């Protein structure tokens, strides 16, 4: 175990967490999670990414308590104040709303979009990919051609079509993003499944009489999961940008919702004289996207089964 060897002899909880001889199923899981955490914690950039993501989550949870102003109440006397005036730390926008407060509340929308996409697209992709890869034959052909069809749609254009058909709003934007982002996960999962399906441990479980669903769910999926998780965190930035892009085009979140993309969109009118109106939400999108990317890179190193812990 190389992970534990460069530490001083652990005691108490640390000893329990690095035990070579776990005493129960739960204990073994804890040890594995802890060792994974140790290898992630060795990567400072990944920890920076994790910190950004945690700050985003904290901001979304605590927005009503930490935001200095109401994000949607207007005060035209105080419009377009530069950062730092009168307690408006990041200035105000064209309707006199505090930009910091709007960014904090906007993190809720960003997180909402990310969460909804994450519970739909990768799950669908994982199921389609592992089933296609394990079953093979005509099922594989049908599922993969379906994947190709969805892959051929330009994401933003399909999203536009969706929103045009169903009306603008965050939910429809999420639906459009999810529908166009599952095919890459299906491809990854299928490629992983093809390398796993002929391995001896799958043959062995088949010889125990296991049914195909049991093999796919219990034996194939756990091995595909890590590459899918990594891909999800790396895609997170793209999802946020697409949601912001839809907001920018006026097809995502609707005013007066403080969505970051929509904020940039209105700020563009003042970009030369009042740069902060567009720059602040832009900075927020940039930081959060960067955070997810850094975390994704770190997770790839920590979760890669071939890295051999």
Binding-site residue total for other proteins (CB under 8 A)?
29
H or E, element range at 25:
helix 25-41
Identify whether the C-beta of residue 232 lies closer than 8 Å to the C-beta of residue 181.
no
Residue 46, token pair as written in the block: 């990944």
* HSE-up (13 A, CA, CB side) for residue 53: 21
Using alpha carbons, select from 229, 225, 243, 252 the residue that is nearest to residue 289. Answer: 243
Report the residue number, 9 or 308, with the smaller CB distance to other proteins. Answer: 308
Report the residue number, 1 or 272, with the smaller CB distance to other proteins. Answer: 1
Question: In the window 236-275, what residues touch other proteins (CB under 8 A)?
Answer: none
Interaction between residue 214 and other proteins (CB under 8 A): yes
Interaction between residue 308 and other proteins (CB under 8 A): yes
Is 25 exposed, middle or buried, given 0-12, 13-18 or 19+ CB atoms closer than 10 A?
exposed
Interaction between residue 307 and other proteins (CB under 8 A): no
Interaction between residue 199 and other proteins (CB under 8 A): yes
Instruction: Work out which of 73, 85, 195, 203 binds other proteins, going by CB under 8 A.
Output: 203
Instruction: Work out which of 42, 78, 79, 206 binds other proteins, going by CB under 8 A.
Output: 206
Interaction between residue 77 and other proteins (CB under 8 A): no
Rounded to whole angstroms, the Cα distance separating 132 from 149 reads: 15
Instruction: Work out which of 9, 25, 65, 137 binds other proteins, going by CB under 8 A.
Output: 25
Rounded to whole angstroms, the Cα distance separating 174 from 152 reads: 19
Interaction between residue 27 and other proteins (CB under 8 A): yes
The region of 83-91, 205-213, 228-236, 257-265 touching other proteins under the rule CB under 8 A is: 205-213
Least Å from the CB of residue 93 to other proteins: 50
Interaction between residue 85 and other proteins (CB under 8 A): no
Helix ranges (H only) for the chain are 2-5, 12-17, 25-41, 44-66, 99-135, 137-152, 155-166, 170-197, 200-207, 212-215, 221-248, 260-267, 276-303
Identify whether the C-beta of residue 40 lies closer than 8 Å to the C-beta of residue 299.
yes
Least Å from the CB of residue 16 to other proteins: 13
Interaction between residue 52 and other proteins (CB under 8 A): no
Residue 19, token pair as written in the block: 């035990």
Instruction: Work out which of 6, 209, 272, 273 binds other proteins, going by CB under 8 A.
Output: 209
Rounded to whole angstroms, the Cα distance separating 143 from 197 reads: 17
Chain positions contacting other proteins, by CB under 8 A: 1, 20-25, 27-28, 32, 199-201, 203-210, 214, 218-219, 222-223, 305, 308-309
């Amino acid at each position: 175990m190389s992970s534990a060897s460069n530490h001083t002899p652990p005691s108490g909880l640390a000893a329990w967490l690095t035990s070579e001889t776990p005493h129960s199923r739960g204990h073994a899981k804890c040890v594995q999670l802890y060792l994974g955490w140790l290898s992630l914690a060795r990567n400072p950039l990944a920890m920076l990414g994790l910190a950004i993501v945690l700050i985003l989550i904290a901001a979304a949870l605590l927005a009503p308590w930490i935001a200095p102003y109401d994000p949607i109440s207007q005060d035209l006397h105080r419009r377009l104040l530069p950062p730092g005036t009168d307690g408006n730390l990041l200035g105000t926008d064209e309707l006199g709303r505090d930009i910091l407060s709007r960014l904090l509340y906007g993190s809720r929308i960003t997180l909402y979009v990310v969460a909804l996409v994450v519970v739909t697209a990768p799950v669908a992709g994982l199921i389609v990919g592992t089933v296609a890869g394990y079953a093979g034959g005509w099922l594989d052909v049908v599922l993969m051609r379906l994947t190709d069809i969805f892959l051929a749609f330009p994401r933003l254009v399909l999203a536009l079509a969706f929103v045009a058909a169903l009306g603008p709003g965050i939910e429809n934007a999420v639906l459009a993003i999810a529908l166009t982002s599952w095919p890459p996960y299906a491809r990854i999962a299928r490629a992983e499944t093809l390398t796993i399906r002929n391995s001896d441990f799958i043959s062995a479980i088949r010889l125990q009489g296991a049914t195909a669903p049991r093999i796919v769910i219990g034996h194939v999926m756990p091995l595909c999961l890590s590459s899918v998780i990594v891909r999800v965190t790396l895609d997170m930035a793209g999802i946020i940008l697409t949601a912001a892009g839809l907001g920018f085009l006026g097809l995502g979140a609707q005013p007066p919702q403080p969505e970051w993309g929509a904020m940039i969109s209105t700020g563009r009118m003042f970009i030369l004289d009042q740069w902060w109106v567009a720059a602040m939400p832009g900075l927020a999108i940039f930081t959060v996207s960067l955070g997810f990317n850094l975390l994704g890179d770190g997770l790839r190193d920590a979760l890669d089964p071939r890295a051999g812990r």
